[in-house]
């Protein structure tokens, strides 16, 4: 056993890839097993084979599963003869070394716009304080804006019970619909300021009212330029929206993100805070109560808000686009 371990260590030192997390984790497992008196020693190629299996889609191998669980990986590695006997805990530990969790998944959208990088890069520059290669001046501001649509007021049929020792908050499952509203908001990227309005629904006029609330006050009213970063929603879509904004406020510039790029819009971070801290669980006495709580939270957030630590830059975008270019083209399905 020790000769196998020494051969492996020597091979790892001579590897062109150098030391890696996987080999370190397995070596640690091996040494821990020796201390504990556990005899089985799994060669690195076995660990690699298990990780390779976990990184594959089950149905590509004729297995009628969407995702692997630890138990299913355990059954498959034994059935394939990769290993005769191993515990689920050991398999989990091997996968944990490289943060491989095939039982997890998240939804995402491949960029569809052929000019995605070209359109998204200027927005990332604005976050860093640049426009067209030049630094922003002291009288130039960047706002990220959007709307959170169809926020329901759910009126629970039984009053929510407060949390107690060893008991979580209890929220009645059944509710009555109290109507819905839209929350329009704009986030000052560099100052950490939030502005918002509540509207019956989204649209060109509600968005215009939000713009008027912001642009009608200092320092935006007398600013040299105020950049408004938005997505391609119907409230502010296309060249007509750009013209409308500049006609109403000549010092305002509308900057559109490419389609399917809301994840690059900083206001979405604030909306996620709203979702966690105000709307979950959704328990309101009325639509007016929902509106009141939203606006009071906005005021509360003003006292603690700081600019977000945005770290995704133009260079990161370039690297991401190169990585995505290696994937097959999106499937175009017939209507």
pLDDT, the chain, mean? 87
CB 228 within 8 A of CB 188: no
Rounded CA-CA distance 127/327 in Å is 29
Q: What share of the chain is helix, strand, coil (3-state, %, to 5)?
A: 45, 15, 40
Rounded CA-CA distance 112/261 in Å is 10
CB 214 within 8 A of CB 169: no
Give the pLDDT confidence score for residue 39 in this predicted structure.
43
CATH class of the domain comprising 116-324? alpha beta
At 105-121, the pLDDT tens digits run: 888 778 888 899 999 99
Give the pLDDT confidence score for residue 178 in this predicted structure.
95
The H or E element that residue 307 is part of is none
In the DSSP assignment, the letter for residue 130 is E
**Mean pLDDT of the 253-275 span:** 96
- Chain centroid to Cα 64, Å, comes to 29
In the chain the first and final C-alpha atoms are separated, in Å, by: 61
Between the ranges 42-51, 52-61, 138-147, where is the mean pLDDT highest? 138-147
Closest by Cα among 236, 157, 147, 154 to 199: 147
pTM of the model as a whole:
0.78
CB 185 within 8 A of CB 202: no
Domain residue extents for the chain: 2-97, 116-324
In the DSSP assignment, the letter for residue 11 is H
In the DSSP assignment, the letter for residue 161 is B
Asked if pLDDT for residue 94 goes beyond 50, the answer is yes
- CA angle 235-241-247, nearest 5°? 130
């Amino acid at each position: 056993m020790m000769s196998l371990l020494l051969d492996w260590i020597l091979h790892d030192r001579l590897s062109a890839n150098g030391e890696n997390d996987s080999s370190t984790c397995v070596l640690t497992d091996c040494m821990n097993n020796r201390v504990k008196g556990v005899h089985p020693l799994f060669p690195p190629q076995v660990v690699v084979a298990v990780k390779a299996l976990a990184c594959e889609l089950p149905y590509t191998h004729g297995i009628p599963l969407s995702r692997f669980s630890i138990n299913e990986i355990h059954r498959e590695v034994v059935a394939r003869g990769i290993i005769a006997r191993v515990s689920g805990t050991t398999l989990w530990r091997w996968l944990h070394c490289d943060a491989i969790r095939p039982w997890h998944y998240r939804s995402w959208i491949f960029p569809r716009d052929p000019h995605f990088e070209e359109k998204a890069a200027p927005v990332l520059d604005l976050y860093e304080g640049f426009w067209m290669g030049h630094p922003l001046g002291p009288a130039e501001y960047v706002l990220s804006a959007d709307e959170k649509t169809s926020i329901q007021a759910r009126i629970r049929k039984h009053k929510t019970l407060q949390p107690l020792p060893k008991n979580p908050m209890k929220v009645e499952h059944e509710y009555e619909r109290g109507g819905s509203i839209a929350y329009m908001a704009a986030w000052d990227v560099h100052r950490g300021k939030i502005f918002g309005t509540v509207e019956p629904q989204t649209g060109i006029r509600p968005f215009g009212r939000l713009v008027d609330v912001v642009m009608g006050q200092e320092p935006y009213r007398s600013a040299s330029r105020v950049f408004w970063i938005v997505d391609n929603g119907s409230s502010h879509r296309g060249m007509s929206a750009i013209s409308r904004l500049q006609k109403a406020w000549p010092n305002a510039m509308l900057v559109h993100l490419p389609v399917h790029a809301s994840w690059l819009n900083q206001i979405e971070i604030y909306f996620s805070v709203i979702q966690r801290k105000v709307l979950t669980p959704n328990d309101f006495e009325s639509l007016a109560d929902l509106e009141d709580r939203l606006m009071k939270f906005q005021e509360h957030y003003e006292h603690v808000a700081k600019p977000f630590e945005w770290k995704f830059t133009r260079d990161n975008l370039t690297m991401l686009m190169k990585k995505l270019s290696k994937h097959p083209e999106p499937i175009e399905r017939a209507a």
